[in-house]
């Protein structure tokens, strides 16, 4: 099975090319925080550079601190031995899928959804079972949809808050999904990389309802450390040995420097919560302005830092639309086909992880551009 490209990367490459030619570019194509790592984490990294030979190493204190995070946030006890440190969430996803499922297994997931879910499943010779999820389900998988699948899939991938929509699965629905999956023998992989980034209240973890779920998380989003390549997988106790065997052969350990810095970053709450206030301002600016651009139909961005907007009244080619928007205005966005191969030709994703002045400037550039676009 062919693994399709992440088309936003191609658009980003064009954006950097235009920047090298002297153009002013605003990068709203990726969920990459414009804020850097917490100051204390950076200071610790400078110390470590002078003191540590930085060989292969997995930080026991970091695993213990992550375990405490689950107790503090969700009231769930997680043995640190169940936590595998990875080079970001992407290897954690590969690790979860490769170690838990067999080639040919069917895995349910929402459409739209993060491009790497579908393509990683293809790369591992697993079979994606994409379920169309629209406004009626808030663009999320539901327990009813999973119960209706015949035959039952071997697994299901859920994401809350989700990429590209930002929608959050309510606590009662998460509990219902866990119940259906338990009854039908469906293993759950829960991507919780955007936890901590919510504008509508706490985000429950699947571990609160299914202790045997495989949980993916990372320092890239809430902790603003995308380039440090540090994440983790929480595996069920009975699956830890198998996951560690795959980890040792495929990925070894994440960078020592990142582990030292990540441990310190976890306690920089005041600085990190300040980042959320920035994202909240950016979100409010977009939600206020998008209707004036003619973008009336959007997914409710409960969390993360994305707006998923319907542009079907303007185009049937989201790739060409995003490229033209970039060339004309210098605003880089992500085409919907990355996240939905069926209906994504009429959707666009905006990331508001950039600075507030950049969001304001992007809107100033886009208002006349959208106003000049003729409807289909």
Range 7-37+269-371 has CATH code 3.40.640.10: yes
User: Average pLDDT, stretch 245-272?
Assistant: 96
pLDDT at 25 over 80: yes
Average pLDDT value over all residues in the chain: 96
List, as one string, the DSSP characters of 216-277.
EEESSSTT--GGG--EEEE--GGGHHHHHHHHHHHT----HHHHHHHHHHTT-HHHHHHHHH
pLDDT in tens, 60-70: 999 999 999 99
Sequence-ordered strand ranges (E) for 68-135 = 83-86, 106-111, 127-132
Helix axes 256-265, 39-51, angle to 10 degrees: 150
What is the dihedral sign for C-alpha 349, 224, 120, 233? Answer: negative
Q: Is the dihedral of CA 267, 261, 357, 289 positive or negative?
A: negative
State residue 255's pLDDT score: 95
- Give mean pLDDT, residues 292-298: 95
Q: How far is CA 298 from the centre of its chain?
A: 18
179-229 residue pLDDT tens: 999 999 999 999 999 999 999 999 999 999 999 999 999 999 999 999 999
Q: In what order do the strands lie in the sheet with 187-191?
A: 83-86, 231-234, 214-218, 187-191, 155-159, 106-111, 127-132
Q: In whole angstroms, how large is the CA radius of gyration of the chain?
A: 20
Does residue 180 contact residue 142 with C-beta atoms inside 8 Å? no
In sequence order, what are the residues at sequence separation of 6 or more whose Cβ sits closer than 8 angstroms to the Cβ of residue 208?
A: 74, 75, 76, 171, 174, 175
Q: What is the pLDDT of residue 51?
A: 86
pLDDT of 337-363, one tens digit each? 999 999 999 999 999 999 999 999 999
Phi, psi of 279 (to 5 degrees): -60, -40
Core vs surface per residue 79-103: b (16+ CB within 10 A) or e: eeebbbbbbbbbbbbbbbbbbbbee
**Any residues with CB less than 8 A from the CB of 110 and at least 6 apart, and which?**
130, 131, 133, 139, 140, 141, 158, 159, 162
* Residue 200 near residue 168 (C-beta atoms within 8 A): yes
Can you name the CATH fold of 54-265? 3.40.640
The answer to pTM > 0.85 is yes
pLDDT of residue 1: 66
pLDDT for position 143? 98
Beta 214-218 vs 231-234: how paired, if at all?
Answer: antiparallel
Percent helix, strand, coil in the chain, to 5, is: 45, 15, 40
Residue limits of CATH 3.40.640.10 in the chain: 7-37+269-371, 54-265
| Rounded mean pLDDT, 33-59 | 91
Taking 80 as the threshold, does the pLDDT of residue 2 lie above it?
no
Question: Does the structure show a pLDDT above 90 at 318?
Answer: yes
What pLDDT sits at residue 53?
A: 79
Q: Report the largest interatomic distance among the alpha carbons of the chain, rounded to a whole angstrom.
A: 62
């Amino acid at each position: 099975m062919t693994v399709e490209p992440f088309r936003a990367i191609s658009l980003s490459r064009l954006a950097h090319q235009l920047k090298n030619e002297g153009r002013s570019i605003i990068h709203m194509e990726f969920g990459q925080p414009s804020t850097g790592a917490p100051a204390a984490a950076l200071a610790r990294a400078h110390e470590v550079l002078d003191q540590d030979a930085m060989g292969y190493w997995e930080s026991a204190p970091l695993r213990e601190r992550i375990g405490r995070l689950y107790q503090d946030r969700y009231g769930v006890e997680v043995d640190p031995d169940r936590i595998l440190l990875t080079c970001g969430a992407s290897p954690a996803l590969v690790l979860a899928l490769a170690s838990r499922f067999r080639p040919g297994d069917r895995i349910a997931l929402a459409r739209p959804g993060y491009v790497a879910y579908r393509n990683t499943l293809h790369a591992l010779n697993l079979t994606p079972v994409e379920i169309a999820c629209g406004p009626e389900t808030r663009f999320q998988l539901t327990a009813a949809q999973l119960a209706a699948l015949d035959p039952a899939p071997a697994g299901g991938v859920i994401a809350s808050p989700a990429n590209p929509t930002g929608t959050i699965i309510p606590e009662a629905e998460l509990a219902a999904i866990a119940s259906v999956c338990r009854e039908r023998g469906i293993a759950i992989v829960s991507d919780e990389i955007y936890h901590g980034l919510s504008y509508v209240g706490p985000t429950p973890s699947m571990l609160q309802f299914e202790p045997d779920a495989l949980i993916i998380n990372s320092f890239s989003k809430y902790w603003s450390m995308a380039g440090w390549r540090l994440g983790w997988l929480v595996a069920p106790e009975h699956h830890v040995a198998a996951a560690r065997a795959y980890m040792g052969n495929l990925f070894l350990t994440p960078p020592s420097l990142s582990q030292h810095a990540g441990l310190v970053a976890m306690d920089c709450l005041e600085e990190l919560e300040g980042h959320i206030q920035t994202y909240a301002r950016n979100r409010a600016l977009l939600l206020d302005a998008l209707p004036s651009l003619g973008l009336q139909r959007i997914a409710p961005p409960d969390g993360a830092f994305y707006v998923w907007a319907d542009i079907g009244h303007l185009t049937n080619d989201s790739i060409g639309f995003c490229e033209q928007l970039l060339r004309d205005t210098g605003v880089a966005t992500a085409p919907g086909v990355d996240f939905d191969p069926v209906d994504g030709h009429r959707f666009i994703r905006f990331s508001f992880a950039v600075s507030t002045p950049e969001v304001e400037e992007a809107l100033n550039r886009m208002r006349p551009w959208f106003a000049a676009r003729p409807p289909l």
